[in-house]
Amino acid sequence: MSSTESDVVEQASSHPESSTSTKSSHPPTRASPRASPRASPRAANRHAPRVAANGVHDIEDRILRMTGYYGYYPGYSSHRRDEGSDSHIETPASETSGEVTAYQTCANVVLKVIGGLLLVLCVSSSWVGTTQVVQWTFKSFSCPFFISWFSTNWNILFFPLYYSGHVAITREKQTPIQKFRECSRLFGEEGMTLRLFLKRTAPFSILWTLTNYLYVLALRKLTATDVSALYCCHKAFVFLLSWIVLKDRFMGVRIVAAIMAITGIVMMAYADGFHGDSIIGVALAVGSASTSALYKVLFKMFLGSANLGEVAHFFSTMGFFNLIFISCVPLILYFTRVEHWGSLSSLPWGYLCGVASLWLVFNILVNVGVVLTYPILISIGTLLSVPGNAAIDVLKHEVIFSVVRLAATCIICVGFLLLLLPEEWDTVTLRFLATLADKKSEEHGEELTESSINMRSRSRANGAVSIPLA
């Protein structure tokens, strides 16, 4: 118990009659915001309003009452400022702590947004670099399946890189094998067995290989800008498959976006008259987007949501599967002369390692970025690869785009942006518009009130008197 509270208890117990008489003689008044809730009765009696012999309060109290001082009640004049100062001892500290908390929250949001923007640039740059280096590789080495197979093998490094970063940040004592077993719970409670390895990894590895192979094949027929724009249609295919297979919520704006994506595909194929390498390249790019969408929908259906460690484990597992079971395909293509690359020393290892490393960096940034920042920024980073590739095609390769191709690319990009709208975008938009309408009505009402007050003051200054009608 504090000293102030003990004084109140002692005074109430020793002078019960005085407290009763005080309550009866002074009626309750409106409390002041400056009054301290812990003020003692002695302080109240000491600062009570002084009354003259004729029953009139101090001059200062009368002036404050007449002028309508905010928060004033009789007896609250300048001689009570010492009590008011005591009551506000804790207020600046609380306000300062609230300001510091708000500042920290704003700083965290700003840092997250800035980090997300930097990540967007890294994602788009890595994807643009992958696409351009693949086309440069074709000038000296035209073996698309070998390129995609070699790049997929680098996924084995995903989990070791994740474990190194995890140990550097958390200083965890788990060994790599223990962490690998912990992350293998993505396959089930029993962990990863040979049966689950083949059952869960095989279909995803095949879809992954088809996606990369068709994308690389399309780069032999079309420009990097066209292929990257057509690949952005995978968002529309993901929505359609999720709506049909996963029974996701129907959204009219996403149906419009899917129609725009299909329109852009048709216009891209029509740009060269539905013949030659153009229609084949468009079909290959659309096939790559379709297999990518199927991969994502099946991952969500069978494996659900996964954390970063489980994703790193899954990517490394697909890399092992690719190295063990799919290595026979490049050998078959080599001996059948479909993809003949000569001796190993003649291979462009610099280009091949560049493609594989950029592809691995892109996959790492996409999966890490979803954890560290907003997922919508990662999607925007993929979309920004379209203007990035267009700039390089125009400046480096001197590509001239037709009006139809530009229109098709713009339609696909707009449809991609519409697919990024959240599910509750319509409700949020209507709520925002209603809030703006309320603010405008309030401001209009305040303007009318101010104008009426100004008119009354002018009429009083001119000597006019307003006569009420009722």
Per-residue pLDDT of 116-169, as tens digits, reads 888 889 999 999 999 999 999 998 898 999 999 999 999 999 999 999 888 888
Report yes or no: 229 and 417 within 8 Å, Cβ to Cβ.
no
- Model pLDDT, residue 282: 92
| DSSP result, 374-393 | -HHHHHHHHHTHHHHHHHHH
Per-residue pLDDT of 338-358, as tens digits, reads 988 878 888 999 999 999 999
- Model pLDDT, residue 21: 38
Average pLDDT over residues 215-226: 93
Structure tokens at 124: 């788009």
**Alpha-carbon separation of residue 146 from 40, 223, 353, 384 (angstroms):** 88, 21, 12, 28
Strand partners for 51: 57
Q: How confident is the model at residue 450 (pLDDT cuts 50, 70, 90)?
A: low
Can you tell me the distance from the alpha carbon of 207 to that of 209, in angstroms, rounded to the nearest whole number?
Answer: 5
Report yes or no: 231 and 347 within 8 Å, Cβ to Cβ.
no
pLDDT of 254 higher than 70: yes
**Alpha-carbon separation of residue 344 from 66, 141, 379 (angstroms):** 100, 12, 38
Distance, first Cα to last Cα, the chain = 62
Cα 354–Cα 214–Cα 411 angle in degrees, nearest 5: 100
- Compute the 3-state secondary structure of the chain and give helix, strand, coil in percent, each to the nearest 5: 75, 0, 25
Report yes or no: 367 and 308 within 8 Å, Cβ to Cβ.
yes
Percentage of residues in the chain with pLDDT exceeding 90?
32
What's the pTM? Answer: 0.70
Average pLDDT over residues 301-330: 89
Exposed / middle / buried, residue 145 (Cβ in 10 Å: 0-12, 13-18, 19+): buried
Can you tell me the distance from the alpha carbon of 87 to that of 4, in angstroms, rounded to the nearest whole number?
Answer: 13
pLDDT greater at residue 22 or residue 102: 102
Can you tell me the distance from the alpha carbon of 73 to that of 241, in angstroms, rounded to the nearest whole number?
Answer: 71
- Model pLDDT, residue 467: 37
- Model pLDDT, residue 318: 93
Structure tokens at 160: 């070791």
Report yes or no: 286 and 265 within 8 Å, Cβ to Cβ.
yes
**Alpha-carbon separation of residue 420 from 141, 204, 288, 379, 413 (angstroms):** 38, 25, 20, 8, 11
Structure tokens at 89: 């001892």
- Model pLDDT, residue 16: 39
Tell me the backbone φ, ψ of residue 51, rounded to 5 degrees: -115, 135
Strand, coil or helix: 5: helix
Residue 412: which of 228, 216, 253, 218 has the closest Cα? 228
| DSSP result, 79-130 | GGHHHHHHHTSSHHHHHHHHHHHHHHHHHHHHHHHHHHHHHHHHHHHHHHHH
**């001689």: which residue's tokens?**
79
Can you tell me the distance from the alpha carbon of 411 to that of 263, in angstroms, rounded to the nearest whole number?
Answer: 8
- Model pLDDT, residue 126: 94
Report yes or no: 216 and 144 within 8 Å, Cβ to Cβ.
yes
**Alpha-carbon separation of residue 196 from 159, 322, 418 (angstroms):** 19, 16, 38
Strand, coil or helix: 418: helix
Can you tell me the distance from the alpha carbon of 332 to that of 325, in angstroms, rounded to the nearest whole number?
Answer: 13
Can you tell me the distance from the alpha carbon of 9 to that of 58, in angstroms, rounded to the nearest whole number?
Answer: 32
User: Where on the phi/psi map is residue 294: left (φ > 0), alpha (ψ -120 to 50), or beta?
Assistant: alpha
Average pLDDT over residues 94-106: 69
Structure tokens at 203: 């279909």
Report yes or no: 123 and 378 within 8 Å, Cβ to Cβ.
yes
The letter for the amino acid at 189 is E
